[in-house]
Structure 1
Amino acid sequence: MPRVRTTRLATGARRGAAVLLCASTVCLPQGAGRAVASGGGDGPDSPFWVQPAGRAARQVRVWEERGREPDAAAVRRIAEQPTAVWMNAEDPRRQVEQIAEEAERAGRIPVLVAYNIPHRDCGQYSSGGARDAAAYREWVARAAAGIGEHRAWVVLEPDAIAQWASGCVPKEAAQERLALLAEAVRTFKAQRGTSVYVDAGNAGWVSDQALLAGALKEAGVGEADGFALNVSNFHTTPVTREYGDRLSDRLGGAHYIVDTSRNGNGPLPPSGVEAHGEEAWCNPPGRALGAPPTTATGDGRIDAFVWIKRPGESDGACRGAPPAGQWWSEYALDLSRAAAAGPPAVPPAPEPAPAPAPPAPVPAAPGPAPAPPPAAAPPAAVPPAAAPPSPQT
């Protein structure tokens, strides 16, 4: 599946491992897992489809059978939320048809991720993609045909534009990449029930928003429903909102969506990166589930908070984790436990600053600095379950 970097990019930034999710080689029993009811998240403002037998749901079943009720309850928090499905089949039509049909029967909308651009991930954890432009066009056409008349949201190519901006894409592929994305937008939007959001990286990646906005325009964002931010990354919603609103201004007020799947505690602080000797985006410890998927964002330009990255799937083979996109139950537990009583509430939209009050005649003495928050406890060990390769963002 996808990954996003926390490091601000100037020239060649690196990105995290992404999660390619879907039918794959999972080490859990084929029929294991008390299926989560196919439907949507809690509340009327969560219209998205919950995959009834996803990896988290299967892990819940395994732990229930082993009597690990507290662990099962923790991971059930993930299993019961709608998460995106990464289209990873060589011919995605049947995979997408099955998802779209099941979601329609449940009266819900599936969130799909197109992640097959040529020279994907610049040779990192989730490298691969279509062999050339012609193969990519055919793949997109097959995916769109699978959606057909059904409703669906499509997140288009995590990291593709941010990596283009970083200069890591080979010259020939870079020249055609934006045009391919624009064609993909038109192909998916030809399906009348499909909403499309072009990935735009994250708040810690491309600092040159003029460059990013220009690339998004060339990639067809004007014909899409908007852009996506923070896919597979950890930046908080307020930070992402500030970045997204500035980018939206450059795009004529374009709407956007935010991946809140793992941003409950924000990204790993620089001191944590130094202490652990790994990049901040790759399975950082002490992170937490973020606000649950919803369209009630409190911001007119943010269409939804979504879980595009599937919590519990590895960013890559770092910090003792399995390869990118494979299920890592230990990390799933870490994310859920760090979220304490549950994912945080949707943060309110910023309000206008009040008029400044007249200065006080006598300035108050400064108070003591607040104490730093306690460090999160390390995740508990649990049996890993293999999963398909995933994108990095």
Structure 2
Amino acid sequence: MGTYPIRSVSGGVALAACAVLTMTTAAAATPIHDASSPHTIPPHARLYTPPPDKGAIKQITDLLKARDVRDARLIAEMISTPQAVWFTGGTPDQVRRDVHRVVTKAAAHHAIPVLVAYNIPFRDCSQYSAGGAVDTAAYEAWIDGFAAGIGDKRAIVLLEPDSLGIIPYNTDINGNAEWCKPDLSGTGLTPDEANQARYDQLNYAVDALEAHRNVSVYLDGTHSGWLGVGDIAQRLVRAGVQRAQGFFVNVSNYQTTERQIKYGTWISECIAFANDPEEGGWRLGHYSWCASQYYPANPNDFSTWVQTDQWYASNLGTAVPTTHFVIDTSRNGRGPNDMTAYAAAPYNQPASVISALQGGSWCNPPGRGLGLRPTVNTGVPLLDAYLWVKIPGESDGQCDAAGGARAWDYSAYTEPGWPTDPSQQALFDPLWGLYDPPAGQWFPQQALQLAQLAVPPLQPQWPVPPVHH
């Protein structure tokens, strides 16, 4: 799920497309958190804009050829916004060179890059984004290369999205066995060892990266539609978050910013609550006692979330939350797609299909929009930044029935040109009316919707700004 530099652009229309690319940066105006630690993002940080996906350049070129200047400008503004650079594999020496190239280029633009390390063993539990290092030793060597590539440069590192939401052979805070049970044959690991290895790997990565004084490291905090506050707080502490700058929420997802602010704040408060020795330490380690989005709040009624705010106000005592967080706002401008519209005419999908669509609402949902622009000026004490982590416009995967992210009753609704053979229907995405691109590839239809439906709206510059190569 990476971004790639443009190697060559030629022709009049292509040159016009290239002209809309700019290494613009987002700047913060007001200090909002303690900058005394070198690991804290500087309060006036400018965020780096990497070269865009080559698919975006082609889309802009095609739109200009079609004389659709308005939409070309929208895509151009989207890819000219600071966003993350993903590193998903390669040898330790390769990742060292690749990371060094990015941080050096960012430093030349007086900007801080957001780097995503995404190579942990059993990554995504062999789903859409399967892959990762073959074992702990290989992962540690890869992390060493990643850290060496940063050197003394400034960087924000988001460490392994989904790594604490999807853990091999994990048991949740209530003692319930979770679904991720990868094939361990040939690894020499028992299920318990595979589970512990995930935490060992993350702790190693935290220490290796935090050893570099200008690096701000954030661990996976999932999102408010997933793990409860106590559950993720416990996992974060076990993974070493107290030695990192903090955690990230909502990466590659669509949950609203207002919910993520509360969720992230509660996680930090829960960590403080369960690590405070007040009154003899009666609450030490008791993350399960923490209030969450599930209780006393109702997860489906945001007006009730104040009840969880009140619980922390009444129970923190002398505990002071200090764990910071960041939010991925790249695609959450309109929140998640609840899919219920497909139950009505003309689609008339049954309840079982709607339920399945809800479960796959993270995977290329239509009708979504870009969210808040990246900045470190959040105005929220524990919230270090809004970031575009997932590259808007890149596919989440081939979202279909075969992979479990889609369901559809074609007897209730179909369109001319849609597949009629069941084997092809299983690979088709009826929400878009096409076969989705693989994970990480440019998805032009989704990219255009994200830009058109942005909240707040995009404000493309015209004429185009100067280009920085």
Q: Check the 8 A contact 1:63/1:69 in 2, yes or no.
A: no
Amino acid at match of 2:442: W
Moved more, 71-80 or 307-316: 71-80
Shift of 1:38: 2.0
Q: Against the structure 1 CA distance between its residues 235 and 128, is the aligned structure 2 distance closer, same or farther, given a 3 Å change threshold?
A: same
Q: Check the 8 A contact 1:149/1:192 in 2, yes or no.
A: yes
Q: Check the 8 A contact 1:295/1:305 in 2, yes or no.
A: yes
Larger radius of gyration: 2
Aligned mate of 1:40, from 19, 22, 25: 25
Q: Against the structure 1 CA distance between its residues 46 and 337, is the aligned structure 2 distance closer, same or farther, given a 3 Å change threshold?
A: farther
Q: How does 1:301-320 map to 2 (within 5 A)?
A: 301-318=382-399, 319=429, 320=434
Alpha-carbon distance in structure 2 between the residues aligned to 1:341 and 1:256: 22
RMSD of aligned alpha carbons: 2.4
Aligned mate of 2:139, from 136, 139, 142: 136
Unaligned runs of 5+ residues in structure 1 are 1-19, 345-393
Alpha-carbon distance in structure 1 between the residues aligned to 2:219 and 2:439: 22
Alpha-carbon distance in structure 2 between the residues aligned to 1:273 and 1:227: 35
Aligned mate of 2:120, from 104, 117, 121: 117
Aligned twin of 1:84: 84
Aligned twin of 1:224: 244
- How high is the TM-score relative to the length of structure 1? 0.76
Alpha-carbon distance in structure 2 between the residues aligned to 1:55 and 1:46: 27
Q: How does 1:114-193 map to 2 (within 5 A)?
A: 114-164=117-167, 165=172, 166-170=178-182, 171=191, 172-193=193-214
Moved more, 74-83 or 256-265: 74-83
Aligned twin of 1:334: 449
Aligned twin of 1:293: 374
Alpha-carbon distance in structure 1 between the residues aligned to 2:455 and 2:387: 20
Shift of 1:297: 1.0
Amino acid at match of 1:212: I
Q: Against the structure 1 CA distance between its residues 221 and 167, is the aligned structure 2 distance closer, same or farther, given a 3 Å change threshold?
A: farther
Shift of 1:311: 0.4
Partner secondary structure for residue 26 of structure 2: coil
Alpha-carbon distance in structure 2 between the residues aligned to 1:141 and 1:184: 8
Q: Against the structure 1 CA distance between its residues 135 and 161, is the aligned structure 2 distance closer, same or farther, given a 3 Å change threshold?
A: same
Alpha-carbon distance in structure 2 between the residues aligned to 1:284 and 1:64: 23
Partner secondary structure for residue 95 of structure 1: helix
Aligned twin of 1:249: 269
Q: Check the 8 A contact 1:63/1:71 in 2, yes or no.
A: no
Moved more, 245-254 or 139-148: 245-254
Shift of 1:113: 0.3
Q: Against the structure 1 CA distance between its residues 258 and 185, is the aligned structure 2 distance closer, same or farther, given a 3 Å change threshold?
A: same
Alpha-carbon distance in structure 2 between the residues aligned to 1:312 and 1:258: 18
For CA contacts below 8 A with separation 6 or more, give which structure has more relative contact order.
1
Moved more, 288-297 or 66-75: 66-75
Alpha-carbon distance in structure 1 between the residues aligned to 2:455 and 2:376: 23
Give 4+ residue runs of structure 1 displaced > 6 Å after superposition: 28-31
Identity %: 39
- How high is the TM-score relative to the length of structure 2? 0.64
Shift of 1:43: 6.4
Shift of 1:270: 4.4
Unaligned runs of 5+ residues in structure 2 are 30-43, 173-177, 183-190, 273-320, 344-348, 400-428, 460-469
Count of residue pairs brought into register by the alignment: 322
Q: Against the structure 1 CA distance between its residues 312 and 53, is the aligned structure 2 distance closer, same or farther, given a 3 Å change threshold?
A: closer
Aligned twin of 1:75: 75
